[in-house]
Amino acid sequence: MDHLVMANSVALYAAVAVLLSGVFVMAFIFFRMAKTRALELGVETKTISKVIRTAATTSIIPSIAIILGLMTLVPVLGMPIAWGRLSVIGSLMYEVVTATIGATEAGAEGLGRAGFTPTVWANSVWCMTIGVLPGFILAFFALKKYKETVSKITARNTVWQGVFVGTIMIAVFANFSVPAIIAGGNDLLAVGVSAVTMGVVLILSKKTKASWLGEYSLSFSIIAALIAVIIKTAITA
Amino acid sequence: MKSYNERVHRLGRFMVAAVFVGSFIPPMVIWLVFGISPNWPAFLKGATTILSIMIPVGIAEFMSYSPIVGSAGYYLMSVSGNFSNIKIPATVTALDAAGVDAKTEEGDALSTIAMAVSTMVTMIIIFIGVLLLTPFTAFFQNPLIRPAFDQVVPALFGALTLAWILKSYKTALIPIVVAVIVLGFSLINSFFTIPAIAALSLIFARIAFKLGFYNPKEAKSAEDKNE
């Protein structure tokens, strides 16, 4: 049997649907728990609503970009596996790397390339599944202790606490924005336009006291960058 | 406070264990329903290669990402994936828009709300993508659209980096300079650039802090909370 017949079977759709439903329910339980906690702490309902709206709108465009990843994985691994892996747990780069290692170790020339038999496909799926083990073990065993240690280190001084978290956060952001600046071309255009848009939106929001603008700052910035790249592609095509 | 924290860790650990076990359902279906038993030697070889990459990557991600989100948010992020391209940007922007400091108890609860909402929205959109993959494929194959969507991640982080420069240019200075040096000269394997930039920046930031480079503005909201 061709592996894609199995890969797109009802049984696998059902298996993935069970897994995703479980994660969705857990996300909802955490949502309820945190909302109750926020209300107990005296956070106003309108602040909670603002957080919900901003998180939701900001997640939309990057999530649409994941569908691009779906298009890459579906022809090789089948829809249910691609859907399950990209909706939860993984990300495109991780899935492509682990699935390719699984395929080559089982004798294929690459992911979906010559020799990609049903057994090789199964090995790709097993390898994608096992690769997240280190992250899960750390979250399970070490998160509580590590968070306590970080709080202890930073608790003595609020200035250092702010600098500590801010430095790590900007290190993460710069890790993705600096290579795009160095790469030039569309990458540089996207970084530049989104950064300028963010600056304009934040300044406008402050000057006009329109705090709602801040909620959409990231979405506006990404949309402006996408439009700029589309215009550049159209002009240079 | 303690009981909420305890509940978060208990539920979080349960969730991580349940999702890890649950993630084996698809390969088990392939084995038990379709009769394709795992090729154990190939699996062991693949798993060894993957774990030799993922153990250091997992440690690096854990150490870098967990201080910037609350505990509940981190558990949720661990099982729901897409850390850097969706979950962290959505959470950071949501807290900024609400004007709440992530380091406070309120910030912890709100960052969990943001993470949970982001998780659910992502799942719904990808589900729509699954249902409508054919029209989506046509949309993305448009030669004007595809290159634009390839730039979502740079666009996200360009905007977030600038937002932080405006918020606290002194805090932003050191990690940006370190990132330019580390990435510009390709000093480190790309799997480990985040923890390397974070660790080096923290060392320099600590020295700058001792020299009095930062002022109380860098911790304004943390102080407001303590007062």
Give me the interface pTM, i.e. the ipTM. Answer: 0.83
Q: Do A192 and B34 touch (CB under 8 A)?
A: no
Please report the pLDDT score of residue B223 as a whole number.
Answer: 40
Identify the closest residue of chain A to B53 by CA–CA distance.
Answer: A131
Q: What is the mean pLDDT of residues A183-205?
A: 93
Distance in angstroms (rounded) separating the CA atoms of residues A148 and B175: 24
Partner-chain contact B90 A59, CB within 8 Å:
yes
Residue B221: per-residue pLDDT: 42
Q: Which of A2, A58, A157, A186 should we substitute to test contact with B (largest number of B Cβ atoms within 10 Å)?
A: A58
Q: What is the pLDDT of residues B68-89, one digit of tens each?
A: 888 888 999 888 888 778 888 8
Q: What is the pTM of this model?
A: 0.82
**Please, what is the average pLDDT of chain B?**
86
Lookup: tokens for A126 = 């097993």
d(Cα B141, Cα B85) in Å, to the nearest integer?
22
Mutate to test the interface with A, among B92, B156, B170, B211 (most CBs of A within 10 A): B156
pLDDT for residue B82: 83
Tell me: pLDDT of A122 over 90.
yes
Distance CA B110, CA A48 (A): 7
CB contact under 8 A, B159 and A218: yes
Q: How far is it, in rounded angstroms, from Cα A14 to Cα A91?
A: 21
Higher-pLDDT residue of B101 and A197 is A197
Which positions in chain A touch B81 (Cβ < 8 Å)?
86-91
Kindly indicate the confidence band of residue A92, based on its pLDDT and cuts at 50, 70 and 90: confident
Mutate to test the interface with B, among A120, A178, A230 (most CBs of B within 10 A): A178
Cross-chain Cβ contact B175/A170 below 8 Å = yes
Q: Helices in chain B by DSSP H: which ranges?
A: 2-22, 25-32, 40-65, 71-80, 88-98, 105-131, 133-141, 145-149, 152-167, 169-184, 193-210, 220-226
CB distance A3 to A116 below 8 Å: yes
C-alpha A191/C-alpha B80 separation (Å) is 26
| Pairs of residues, one from chain A and one from chain B, whose beta carbons lie less than 8 Å apart | 554
Instruction: Output the pLDDT for position B134.
Output: 79
**pLDDT grade, residue A1 (50/70/90)?**
low
CA distance B127 to chain A (A): 8
Residue in A34, A88, A196 nearest the CB of B112: A34
Of A204-208, B20-24, B215-219, the poorest mean pLDDT is in B215-219
Asked whether the beta carbons of A58 and B89 are under 8 A apart, the reply is yes
pLDDT tens readout for residues A141-191? 999 999 888 888 777 777 887 888 889 889 988 988 999 999 999 999 999
**Neighboring chain A residues of B23 at a CB cutoff of 8 Å:** 19, 89, 129, 132
CB-closest option in B20, B66, B68 to A143: B66
